Amino acid sequence: MASKFEKYKTDKFQPECVQYWDRQFAPLKLWFDWLICKTAAESNLEEVQELFECDKKEAYRLIWGVFISAASGEEKDTPLEDTYASMVRSVSPEEFPLFMAHICIGASIHDGFDEQESIEIYKEWLSDDPTNRVYGKYQITDDLRSEPVPKGFNKLKRK
């Protein structure tokens, strides 16, 4: 018997970073929280189109640029700061390193790098300082998996 449910499809107008995030977050427990975050972020799509007199694709690009600004902390009081903060609070400690890694990689994709280049940029950042990979009691590995921080690692201090 065929399933009544279709596989989730990312809107073709979505920027490449969102397509990347959807692929990465779909198998994780945070998936439904991500869908809620996306819906909240895109809730003003029509207003953005009218305000900036742009098409749907450009409006999505603008919205996700603001989301990335909120995620990076580059700008304070962005319209999506609360949306991003709510998403962060919903992520479990064991998935948090994955979430942050993919947000960073997606930001590079949004900046114009392809997926592979973005992953390499992120891995270079990881190698810059051993504490870059640590998020609480979990860390991101070089092959982009989350694992518990090894015992004794907490003796290292962030610069």
Q: Give the start-to-end residue ranges of the domains of the chain.
A: 16-149
Mean pLDDT of 131-148: 96
**pLDDT given at position 156:** 52
Residue type, 119: I
Residue among 155, 151, 148 at smallest CA distance from 133: 148
Tell me the CA end-to-end span of the chain in Å, nearest whole number: 58
For residue 156, how many other CB atoms are within 10 A of its CB?
Answer: 12
| Contact of 24 with 70, CB cutoff 8 Å | no
Residue type, 149: V
Answer yes or no: pTM beyond 0.85.
yes
Identify the helix (H) or strand (E) that includes residue 148. strand 146-148
Q: How far apart are CA 32 and CA 35, in angstroms?
A: 5
Q: How confident is the model at residue 77 (pLDDT cuts 50, 70, 90)?
A: confident
Residue among 141, 156, 154 at smallest CA distance from 94: 141
**pLDDT given at position 159:** 47
| Contact of 145 with 135, CB cutoff 8 Å | no
130 vs 1, residue with greater confidence: 130
Mean pLDDT of 66-94: 93
Task: Quote the percentage of the chain above a pLDDT of 70.
Answer: 92
Three-class DSSP category at 34: helix
